[in-house]
Amino acid sequence: MNHIVIIGFMGSGKTRVGKRLAKDLGLPFIDVDRLIVKKMNMSVKEVFERFGEAFYRALETMAVKELSTDSERKVISVSAGLPLQEQNQKYLQSMGTIIYLKGSAATLIKRLEGSNNPTLEGTENKEEKIKKLLKQRDPVYEKFADIKVVTGVKPFDELIAEIEEKLKA
């Protein structure tokens, strides 16, 4: 497929960037988290609480499998944990151009201050947890990236322009 796929840590801007790219490119936008929220008619947090993380991960796999064979080109923001799951990786790789929105620990910590993300909830030291998870996840995101851009260093519009240039190259 030739989708444009956005990956990255929680708070890296996948949803915001994906929405804007889709608008600029005149493509439909899909956000995997939002797709699940709609399907389940409850928040991500509620799905985790009522059915557990494994169930949420299974929903992610169903979504990515379906999208990997969807022939209508789209901008797709996948949830942060999705690329980490081995069962998703073959689908992810067949989807199209993968953009990694890379953020420093400092940028992500700042953006996730008020977040009620279930992956970070209940942790005593949120900063340490973010740093630890980022260390585990960054090499995986790097591995799958066709295009890498750093978020948090330039204004949003300039970041979008950089991505659009790289997509043309």
Ligand X SMILES: Nc1ncnc2c1ncn2[C@@H]1O[C@H](COP(=O)(O)OP(=O)(O)O)[C@@H](O)[C@H]1O
Tokens of 22: 């889709």
DSSP class per residue in 24-85: HHT--EEEHHHHHHHHHTS-HHHHHHHH-HHHHHHHHHHHHHHHHT--S--EEEPPTTGGGS
- Residue 111 binds which one of Mg ion, ligand S3P, ligand X, none, with CB within 5 to 8 A depending on kind? ligand X
98-119: string of b/e by CB count within 10 Å (b at 16+)? bbbbbbebebbbebbeeeeebb
Report if residue 85 touches Mg ion, rule: CB under 5 A.
no
- Residue 13 binds which one of ligand S3P, Mg ion, ligand X, none, with CB within 5 to 8 A depending on kind? ligand X
What's the residue count for the chain? 169
Which residues inside 105-124 make contact with ligand S3P, applying CB under 6 A?
A: 117-119
Instruction: Out of 3, 6, 7, 15, point to the residue binding Mg ion (CB under 5 A).
Output: 15
Tokens of 91: 């689908």
Please check whether residue 100 is in contact with residue 149, taking contact to mean a CB–CB distance below 8 angstroms: yes
Which of 2, 136 has the CB closer to ligand S3P? 136
- Residue 119 binds which one of Mg ion, ligand X, ligand S3P, none, with CB within 5 to 8 A depending on kind? ligand S3P
Which residues inside 13-72 make contact with ligand X, applying CB under 6 A?
A: 13-16
Which of 96, 103 has the CB closer to ligand S3P? 103
Taking residue 168's Cβ as centre, other Cβ atoms within 10 Å add up to 6
Between the CA of residue 123 and those of 11, 21, 54, 147, what are the distances in Å? Answer: 17, 33, 19, 32
Which residues inside 102-131 make contact with ligand X, applying CB under 6 A?
A: 111
Report if residue 43 touches ligand S3P, rule: CB under 6 A.
no
The amino acid occupying position 162 is E
Instruction: Out of 132, 156, 161, 164, point to the residue binding ligand X (CB under 6 A).
Output: 156
- Minimum distance, C-beta of residue 79 to ligand S3P, in the bound complex (Å): 3
Residues near ligand S3P, by CB under 6 A: 10, 14, 33, 44, 79-81, 117-119
- Which residue positions form the known binding site for ATP? 11-16
